[in-house]
Amino acid sequence: MTLLWMALSALGSMSVTGPLGVAVAVWLLAGRTWRLSLSWCLLFGIGLLLVVVTKVAWYGWGIGIPEWKFAGLSGHAMRACAVYPVVFYLLFLKAPSLTRHVALAAGILLAALVSLSRVPVLAHSLSEVVLGGAVGLAVAAAFIMTARSEQPAGFTRALAALCVPLVLVMPFTKPMPAERWVRDVAMYLSGSDPVERAWKLGPEGKRYKAHRES
């Protein structure tokens, strides 16, 4: 079961969701829906920014909600909940109504599983996952509501030629040290060592080893 959670968790890493997010933007640009592509980039960018800001606030100054074990939005949860529903929505955009709804539900379910996997691999608390996922779903919902009026292109061979290579190389890419980058930024801005999460420390003050965070 642990291997399953780790595999699901890997689907939310920056090395996977990052290229998928780029593929969505390329997809929309190729379909000449320029404004929709810009909307996606802005929405996804805002979600990423919120993750960084909340984490820097904790690592740099200890700003969070200790009672909730909250020290910043889960980046895995935010990205998964933003990207996978949108990808499934666009893949089945021209399909019958029932198929579209089932595909969107499947994307949301996958995103939820990826998000929840961060708890058993000891990377995040439940509050960090839930709030991160909520931000990601808000990004996806805002984009999908905007897309309904823009009528983006459906899945075509040309779009597959542009996007599929990105997906194929994802399993062979090295994980991005996103969490380390955030910690470094927090240390630079605050001028002090990063604030650790007390609920992830052992009896001697040592951090428990966890799956890659972000």
Residue 202's pLDDT band (cuts 50, 70, 90): very low
Does residue 62 belong to any structural domain of this protein? yes
Which of 97, 188, 78, 193 lies closest to 140 in space, CA to CA? 78
Does residue 197 belong to any structural domain of this protein? no
Q: What is the 3-state secondary structure (H, E, C) of 81-134?
A: HHHHHHHHHHHCCCCCHHHHHHHHHHHHHHHHHHHHCCCCCCCCCHHHHHHHHH
Does residue 61 belong to any structural domain of this protein? yes
Does residue 136 belong to any structural domain of this protein? yes
pTM above 0.85, yes or no: yes
Does residue 41 belong to any structural domain of this protein? yes
* Residues 116-138: tens digit of each pLDDT: 999 999 899 999 999 999 999 99
* Residues 163-188: tens digit of each pLDDT: 566 555 655 566 677 788 899 999 99
The range of the structural domain enclosing residue 54 comes to 2-192
Does residue 100 belong to any structural domain of this protein? yes
Number of domains in the chain: 1
Does residue 203 belong to any structural domain of this protein? no
Does residue 108 belong to any structural domain of this protein? yes
